Amino acid sequence: MSDIPAGLETLDFFFAGGRPAGAFAPVLVGVVGSGNLEVLLEPAARDGCAVRVETSARGFGPIWQAVMKDFHARHPLAGVRVSINDMGATPAVVSLRLDQAVADVRTGAQA
């Protein structure tokens, strides 16, 4: 039996600096389901990039931190709030969905 309690785990990350994303409509990509996740990008009043992860896969904080650090290195955005609802997606799927959301922000596409 695992020592990790059942239920969702909430992880918060903040990355200072970056390029202001400017005005954009909120972007939602992906769908929460078994082994998948959804990503919501919204404009934020503060500088930097705030990330909140709600995940059913508890105990993976260091992996999430590495994935989000990589995301911010590739897309150093400021003035953005990222919300992730996860149901056990792999790091590769997380990165794919984040890249899709940023592409939609840059092109003005709506999911």
Token pair listed for 31: 């769908």
Give the DSSP H or E segment for 105.
helix 91-107
- Find the helix packing angle between 61-74 and 91-107, rounded to 10°: 30
Give a yes or no: residue 65 inside a domain. Answer: yes
pLDDT tens string 38-96: 999 999 988 899 999 999 989 999 999 999 999 999 999 999 999 999 999 999 999 99
Gap between the Cα atoms of 4 and 16, Å rounded: 31
Domain, as residue range, for 82: 9-107
22-47 pLDDT, tens digit per residue, is 899 999 999 987 778 999 999 998 88
Report the CATH number at residue 91.
Answer: 3.30.230
Q: Is residue 4 part of a domain?
A: no
Q: Label each residue of 52-104 as H, E or C.
A: EEEECCCCCHHHHHHHHHHHHHHCCEECEEEEEEECCCCHHHHHHHHHHHHHH
2 domain-assigned: no
Domains: count for the chain: 1
